[in-house]
């Protein structure tokens, strides 16, 4: 076994995703601790173009796997397995993205590596110790891995992106997959959430979450939005329940919004929600739970019951 670290980049429809550059930072941090090299793998798509972009400070070798265009987990699992045999790393680092969740557990299982997902920090002392959250970010935990080899996925946005270019060695990896083992077929992509309203254009958003309890109560928050001249948006469960259309959803799988003011009403501030609104200029939270993670990123807050506070606010702004 080498002390090296293998990080697997992510791209979609022609572009490297942000997490790829964060993986370089996280991978370098780990490789510094293990005393090894950082290898970055880029699989499918325009691998030569991607390799150039990934020739970053801290990267020792970029391995290109020129097979197919878009992500396919059967290809990724085979390619990472083959690269693992070649590099013999102590740690494999992958993104905790939707596609990461589609191949990292299979890689770990196939290579018999312990798997830590959604790490927000780590240390190395002969083995990995990772920090991860539980119970919707209410607590943080330390997880020790009892093995000198490990697979880990990292949460997006936790490590800074590496942006400094530096010539890394690029190696074209000789990859011959077992094509019979490629049994899933990606047939296309679909954009969802189009519609009459584009919440990403709004200057002020009033956003409603599960704290609203019932569909008929949505109207209360709509009235607040009207009184403020704002647009109504929401967290995911409201859309899952069919109470508002998909184009109102803020977050990882909805829209990324950067309004001047974002008012979160009865929203806990789960990581996938925050991914969509942390860029707002001013964040306001109204929530009964003083420990709700939304208060960590809020600029102003009221710890209180929305059913009491919202009617008062509507009145303040002369609403109906």
Q: Which residues bind ligand FAD (CB under 6 A)?
A: 98, 136, 209-211, 235-237, 249-254, 266-268, 270, 272-273, 276, 286-289, 292, 305-307
Alpha helix (H) residue ranges in 218-270:
218-228, 236-240
Kind and range of the H or E run holding 75: helix 73-87
Looking at 20-28, 43-51, 86-94, 284-292, which segment touches another protein (CB under 8 A)?
Answer: 284-292
Q: Rule CB under 8 A: is residue 296 a binding residue for another protein?
A: yes
Total chain residues near another protein (CB under 8 A): 96
x/- map, 126-155, another protein, by CB under 8 A:
---x---xxxxxxxxxxxxxxx--------
Partner that binds at residue 209, options ligand FAD, another protein, none, CB closer than 5 to 8 Å by kind = ligand FAD
Spatial contact of 138 and 291, defined as CB atoms under 8 Å apart:
yes
* Residue 94, strand partner residues: 153
Answer with the entry of another protein, ligand FAD, none that 211 interacts with (C-beta below 5 to 8 A by kind).
ligand FAD
How many other C-beta atoms lie within 10 A of the C-beta of residue 29?
18
The answer to whether 250 contacts another protein (rule: CB under 8 A) is no
Residue 124 neighbours by CB under 8 Å, 6+ apart: 30, 33, 34
Residue 262 beta carbon to ligand FAD: minimum distance, rounded to whole angstroms: 12
C-alpha angle 154-109-253 in degrees, rounded to nearest 5: 40
Q: Which is nearer to another protein, 146 or 174 (CB)?
A: 146
CA distance 65 to 41: 7
Residue 54, phi then psi, degrees to nearest 5:
-95, 0
Residues in 29-88 that interact with another protein by CB under 8 A: 71, 73-74, 77
If binding is defined by CB under 8 A, does position 237 make contact with another protein? yes
Q: Which two tokens stand for residue 204?
A: 């002020």
What gap in Å lies between CA 76 and CA 95, rounded to an integer?
A: 13
Closer CB to another protein, 172 or 186, in the complex: 186
Q: What is the nearest approach in angstroms of another protein to the Cβ of residue 41?
A: 19
Q: Considering only 29-37, 49-57, 164-172, 234-242, which stretch makes contact with another protein by CB under 8 A? A: 234-242
Whole-angstrom Cα distance, residue 51 to residue 2? 23
Q: In this complex, which beta carbon is closest to ligand FAD, that of residue 145 or of residue 306? A: 306
């Amino acid at each position: 076994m080498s002390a090296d670290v293998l990080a697997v980049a992510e791209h979609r429809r022609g572009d490297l995703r942000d997490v790829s550059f964060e993986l370089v930072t996280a991978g370098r941090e780990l490789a510094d601790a293990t005393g090894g090299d950082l290898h970055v793998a880029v699989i499918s798509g325009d691998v030569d173009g991607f390799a150039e972009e990934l020739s970053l400070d801290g990267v020792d070798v970029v391995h290109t796997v020129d097979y197919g265009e878009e992500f396919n987990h059967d290809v990724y699992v085979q390619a990472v397995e083959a690269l693992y045999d070649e590099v013999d790393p102590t740690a494999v680092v992958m993104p905790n993205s939707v596609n990461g969740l589609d191949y990292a557990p299979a890689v770990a299982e196939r290579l018999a590596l312990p798997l830590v997902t959604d790490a927000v920090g780590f240390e190395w002392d002969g083995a990995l110790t990772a920090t991860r959250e539980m119970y919707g970010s209410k607590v943080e935990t330390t997880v020790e891995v009892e093995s000198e080899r490990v697979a880990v996925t990292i949460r997006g946005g936790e490590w800074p992106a590496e942006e400094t270019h530096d010539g890394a060695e690029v190696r074209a990896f000789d990859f011959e997959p077992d094509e019979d083992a490629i049994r899933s077929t990606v047939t296309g992509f679909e954009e969802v959430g189009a519609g009459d309203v584009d919440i990403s254009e709004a200057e002020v958003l009033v956003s409603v979450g599960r704290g609203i309890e019932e569909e008929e109560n949505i109207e209360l928050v709509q009235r607040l939005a009207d009184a403020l001249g704002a647009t109504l948006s929401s967290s995911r469960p409201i859309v899952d329940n069919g109470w508002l259309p998909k184009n109102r959803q803020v977050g990882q799988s909805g829209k990324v919004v950067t309004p001047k003011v974002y008012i979160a009403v009865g929203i806990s501030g789960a990581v996938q929600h925050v991914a969509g609104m942390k860029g707002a200029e001013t964040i306001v939270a109204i929530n009964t739970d003083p420990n709700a993670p939304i208060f960590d990123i809020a600029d102003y807050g009221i710890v209180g019951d929305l059913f009491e506070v919202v009617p008062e606010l509507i009145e303040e702004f002369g609403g109906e």
